[in-house]
Structure 1
């Protein structure tokens, strides 16, 4: 983790966040909010590009959509858990898929949390501020 985020009054840790969402507009809006809170954000729009970027970016948090084209977020999460750069990262599923089965599938794939869209920035901040078990 990096230094404390100045934008949030020093209360929350600053994270290196990889945001993966095939909706360019949604990814842009969320990345701007996260950056305004003091986080360093890299955005990708599909699974293969996300996986290609983790070795040089080394995120400590990954916010990952499940319904990605070509390679599902479940598959991306499983692959990230195998790789050194993201093995211990906080993996957050941020998705429109909100059934109990979807939540269990996310946990089974290696996600730490399953968050359903739309999520408030305040709720996301709460999850980001929690220490990872």
Structure 2
């Protein structure tokens, strides 16, 4: 089993993480953090490209922004839940959308958890090891 030391000092399993965010700078910073924590990261900046990458990358975890151009994160999550490669992946919404309705819409779309941007490293690490909410 491949493990890595977390920032908190514990152990976490290395994961294959698909990161989808249209903000290139935010995506780069988060991908660097996740890689430093020992994860393998594939980054995409829109829904169609994220969907195109899943069969080859086969992520364990998808960290997905909701406010994407053209195809919302809600639509992407619904489509991912229909595909074999991501049907059982842990789907994390990481978004600035933080109302109760946004949280419920995320869960209804197939996300396991809804995290609000400026997420802490500790909260992100905790979400990566949580069981699926579904």
TM tier relative to shorter chain? over 0.9
Q: Give, in whole Å, the separation in 1 of the partners of 2:84 and 2:6.
A: 30
Q: Which residue of 2 aligns with 1:30?
A: 30
Residues 19 and 41, structure 1, Cα contact 8 Å, conserved in 2: yes
Aligned alpha-carbon RMSD (Å): 1.4
Q: Which residue of 2 aligns with 1:95?
A: 95
Q: TM-score, normalised by structure 2?
A: 0.94
Q: Which residue of 2 aligns with 1:126?
A: 126
Shift of 1:7: 5.8
Q: Give, in whole Å, the separation in 2 of the partners of 1:104 and 1:44.
A: 25
| CA-to-aligned-CA distance 1:49-82 (integer Å, 9 cap, x gap) | 0000000000010000000000000000000000
Could you tell me which runs of 5 or more consecutive residues in structure 2 were left unpaired when the two chains were aligned.
none
Pair 11,73 (structure 1): closer, same or farther in 2 beyond 3 Å: same
Residues 31 and 41, structure 1, Cα contact 8 Å, conserved in 2: yes
SS at structure 2 position matched to 1:5: strand
Q: Give, in whole Å, the separation in 1 of the partners of 2:109 and 2:131.
A: 20
Q: Which has the higher strand share?
A: 2
Could you tell me which runs of 5 or more consecutive residues in structure 1 were left unpaired when the two chains were aligned.
none
Q: Give, in whole Å, the separation in 1 of the partners of 2:123 and 2:6.
A: 17
- Is 1:4 aligned to 2:3, yes or no? yes
Q: TM-score, normalised by structure 1?
A: 0.94
Q: Which residue of 1 aligns with 2:16?
A: 16
SS at structure 1 position matched to 2:88: coil
Q: Give, in whole Å, the separation in 1 of the partners of 2:10 and 2:118.
A: 26
- Is 1:74 aligned to 2:40, yes or no? no
Shift of 1:122: 1.1
SS at structure 2 position matched to 1:63: strand
Q: Which residue of 2 aligns with 1:117?
A: 117
